[in-house]
Amino acid sequence: MKLTKLVFSFFLALVLLVSPGAAEDLEVWLGSYLNDFLANLLNAIFYPFRLIFYHISLLITELFTPISDLITSIYELFKLAYDLSIGFISSFMPPEWVLLIGAGLLIRLFKAVYSYLKDVEIAGNKI
């Protein structure tokens, strides 16, 4: 321990004697050393937690990637079916007919939803 103090004192005296701005350089060096020490200390303290959360995130990724891929595949399937049907319908029918059929289907959908909801009561009030 005494040897370490002696070496550090010698180094400090040498740095202070070399140049007039050496004290600022020493502060910068000590600040950098302390900063590295604290960074390494915090890394050592939190490394197990980082490792645990890294593996948890890998597990979650492995669990949910197939589900998200399935949802994406279903979306792509419906998108392709929609594009195919729109292409097929629009190639054989004029756009006015497509709009009229779409409006009729939309009206029928609203009537079906209304006939379902007209008997529903929420807190004693009919919709």
Specify the DSSP class assigned to residue 121. E
Average pLDDT, rounded, for the chain = 80
119 SS3 class? coil
What's the pLDDT at 14? 57
Which residues lie below 8 Å from residue 16, measured CB to CB, with a gap of 6+?
Answer: 22, 23, 26
What pLDDT digit, counting tens, does each position of 33-89 carry? 777 888 888 888 988 898 999 999 999 999 989 999 999 999 999 999 988 888 887
Residue 37 CA to residue 30 CA, distance in Å, equals 10
What's the pLDDT at 108? 96
What's the pLDDT at 75? 94
pTM, full prediction: 0.39
pLDDT band at residue 30 under the 50/70/90 scheme: low
What's the pLDDT at 3? 63
Residue 79 CA to residue 90 CA, distance in Å, equals 16
126 SS3 class? strand
Q: Are strands 125-126 and 121-122 parallel, antiparallel or unpaired?
A: antiparallel
